[in-house]
Protein backbone atom coordinates (compact mmCIF):
# COMPACT_ATOMS: atom_id res chain seq x y z
CA UNK A 1 0.00 0.00 0.00
CA UNK A 2 1.37 3.41 -0.92
CA UNK A 3 1.92 6.01 1.75
CA UNK A 4 -0.64 8.31 0.10
CA UNK A 5 -3.28 5.56 -0.01
CA UNK A 6 -2.58 4.62 3.60
CA UNK A 7 -2.79 8.27 4.71
CA UNK A 8 -6.09 8.72 2.91
CA UNK A 9 -7.48 5.51 4.43
CA UNK A 10 -6.26 6.60 7.86
CA UNK A 11 -7.90 10.03 7.56
CA UNK A 12 -11.18 8.47 6.39
CA UNK A 13 -11.15 6.01 9.27
CA UNK A 14 -10.43 8.74 11.82
CA UNK A 15 -13.33 10.80 10.45
CA UNK A 16 -15.65 7.77 10.51
CA UNK A 17 -14.68 7.15 14.14
CA UNK A 18 -15.40 10.77 15.05
CA UNK A 19 -18.75 10.71 13.23
CA UNK A 20 -19.66 7.46 14.97
CA UNK A 21 -18.63 8.88 18.34
CA UNK A 22 -20.96 11.85 17.80
CA UNK A 23 -23.90 9.70 16.66
CA UNK A 24 -23.43 7.21 19.52
CA UNK A 25 -23.30 9.96 22.13
CA UNK A 26 -26.42 11.54 20.66
CA UNK A 27 -28.22 8.18 20.56
CA UNK A 28 -27.29 7.34 24.16
CA UNK A 29 -28.41 10.77 25.34
CA UNK A 30 -31.71 10.48 23.46
CA UNK A 31 -32.23 7.03 24.95
CA UNK A 32 -31.66 8.37 28.44
CA UNK A 33 -34.20 11.14 27.79
CA UNK A 34 -36.88 8.85 26.40
CA UNK A 35 -39.98 7.68 28.22
CA UNK A 36 -38.87 4.10 27.55
CA UNK A 37 -35.43 4.36 29.13
CA UNK A 38 -35.72 0.86 30.65
CA UNK A 39 -36.25 -0.62 27.20
CA UNK A 40 -33.22 1.31 25.91
CA UNK A 41 -30.70 0.26 28.58
CA UNK A 42 -28.76 -2.16 26.35
CA UNK A 43 -28.74 0.34 23.50
CA UNK A 44 -27.45 3.09 25.78
CA UNK A 45 -24.68 0.88 27.19
CA UNK A 46 -23.54 -0.25 23.74
CA UNK A 47 -23.61 3.32 22.43
CA UNK A 48 -21.43 4.43 25.33
CA UNK A 49 -18.99 1.55 24.78
CA UNK A 50 -18.86 2.33 21.07
CA UNK A 51 -18.36 6.06 21.62
CA UNK A 52 -15.48 5.44 24.03
CA UNK A 53 -13.89 2.91 21.68
CA UNK A 54 -14.21 5.26 18.69
CA UNK A 55 -12.57 8.04 20.70
CA UNK A 56 -9.63 5.87 21.66
CA UNK A 57 -9.30 4.44 18.15
CA UNK A 58 -9.22 7.92 16.56
CA UNK A 59 -6.59 9.01 19.06
CA UNK A 60 -4.41 5.93 18.41
CA UNK A 61 -4.61 6.45 14.65
CA UNK A 62 -3.95 10.20 14.97
CA UNK A 63 -0.67 9.55 16.73
CA UNK A 64 0.15 6.53 14.55
CA UNK A 65 0.34 4.27 17.58
CA UNK A 66 1.82 0.84 17.01
CA UNK A 67 -1.38 -0.50 18.58
CA UNK A 68 -3.81 1.23 16.24
CA UNK A 69 -4.49 -1.85 14.11
CA UNK A 70 -5.51 -3.85 17.19
CA UNK A 71 -7.59 -0.90 18.37
CA UNK A 72 -9.29 -0.77 14.97
CA UNK A 73 -10.28 -4.44 15.35
CA UNK A 74 -11.77 -3.76 18.78
CA UNK A 75 -13.53 -0.66 17.47
CA UNK A 76 -15.05 -2.60 14.56
CA UNK A 77 -16.44 -5.15 17.04
CA UNK A 78 -17.89 -2.44 19.31
CA UNK A 79 -19.46 -0.74 16.28
CA UNK A 80 -21.00 -4.00 15.04
CA UNK A 81 -22.55 -4.72 18.44
CA UNK A 82 -23.92 -1.20 18.75
CA UNK A 83 -25.32 -1.24 15.20
CA UNK A 84 -27.04 -4.59 15.78
CA UNK A 85 -28.77 -3.22 18.87
CA UNK A 86 -29.71 0.13 17.33
CA UNK A 87 -31.20 -1.67 14.33
CA UNK A 88 -33.77 -3.21 16.69
CA UNK A 89 -35.25 0.23 17.41
CA UNK A 90 -37.34 2.48 15.20
CA UNK A 91 -36.20 5.94 16.31
CA UNK A 92 -34.36 8.20 13.88
CA UNK A 93 -31.37 8.58 16.22
CA UNK A 94 -30.99 4.78 16.42
CA UNK A 95 -31.21 4.43 12.63
CA UNK A 96 -28.58 7.15 12.14
CA UNK A 97 -26.37 5.62 14.81
CA UNK A 98 -26.59 2.15 13.25
CA UNK A 99 -25.59 3.53 9.84
CA UNK A 100 -22.68 5.43 11.34
CA UNK A 101 -21.58 2.34 13.28
CA UNK A 102 -21.68 0.14 10.17
CA UNK A 103 -19.62 2.68 8.21
CA UNK A 104 -17.08 2.96 11.03
CA UNK A 105 -16.87 -0.82 11.46
CA UNK A 106 -16.16 -1.29 7.75
CA UNK A 107 -13.50 1.41 7.79
CA UNK A 108 -11.83 0.06 10.95
CA UNK A 109 -11.89 -3.49 9.64
CA UNK A 110 -10.19 -2.35 6.42
CA UNK A 111 -7.62 -0.45 8.45
CA UNK A 112 -6.88 -3.44 10.67
CA UNK A 113 -6.56 -5.92 7.80
CA UNK A 114 -4.57 -3.66 5.48
CA UNK A 115 -1.99 -2.93 8.15
CA UNK A 116 -1.79 -6.55 9.30
CA UNK A 117 -1.03 -7.75 5.76
Residues 31-90: tens digit of each pLDDT: 999 888 899 999 999 999 999 999 999 999 999 999 999 999 999 999 999 999 999 999
d(CA 81, CA 74): 11
Measure CA 98 to chain center.
Answer: 9
Contacts for 14 with CB less than 8 Å, ≥ 6 apart: 58, 61, 62
Please report, for the domain that includes residue 39, its CATH number. 1.20.1270.360
Containing structural domain, residue 43: 3-116
In total, the chain counts a number of residues equal to 117
Contact 33, 94 (CB under 8 A): no
Q: How many domains does the chain have?
A: 1
Amino acid sequence: MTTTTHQSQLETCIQNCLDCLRDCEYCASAGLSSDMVQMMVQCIKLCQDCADTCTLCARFMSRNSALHTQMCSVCAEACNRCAAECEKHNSEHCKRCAQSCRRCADSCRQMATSMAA
